[in-house]
Amino acid sequence: MSKLNKEWHAAHPMDKNPTTEERLTWHLEHTAHCGCRPIPASLLSIMAQRGIAVPERGRAEQAVDQTAE
């Protein structure tokens, strides 16, 4: 089973020049549906400032699993 949720990605392309808000929304949604990559540290700190709960999967900074496609 692949960790990359291809259907979700096809339905949710990331904008070429996303705003911070768009990136926040995208990553929160992404983490809920797909675990192919963790939320970037820059977004994690914004979420912390705003008191947004970081989903369990989004915390995978120390991700064990670096399996390439």
Q: Contact positions toward Zn ion, by CB under 5 A?
A: 34, 36
CB of 32 to Zn ion, least distance (A): 11
Neighbour-count burial of 51, counting CB atoms closer than 10 A to its CB (0-12 exposed, 13-18 middle, 19+ buried): exposed
CB-nearer residue toward Zn ion: 12 or 46: 12
CB of 34 to Zn ion, least distance (A): 3
CB-nearer residue toward Zn ion: 49 or 64: 64
Neighbour-count burial of 61, counting CB atoms closer than 10 A to its CB (0-12 exposed, 13-18 middle, 19+ buried): exposed
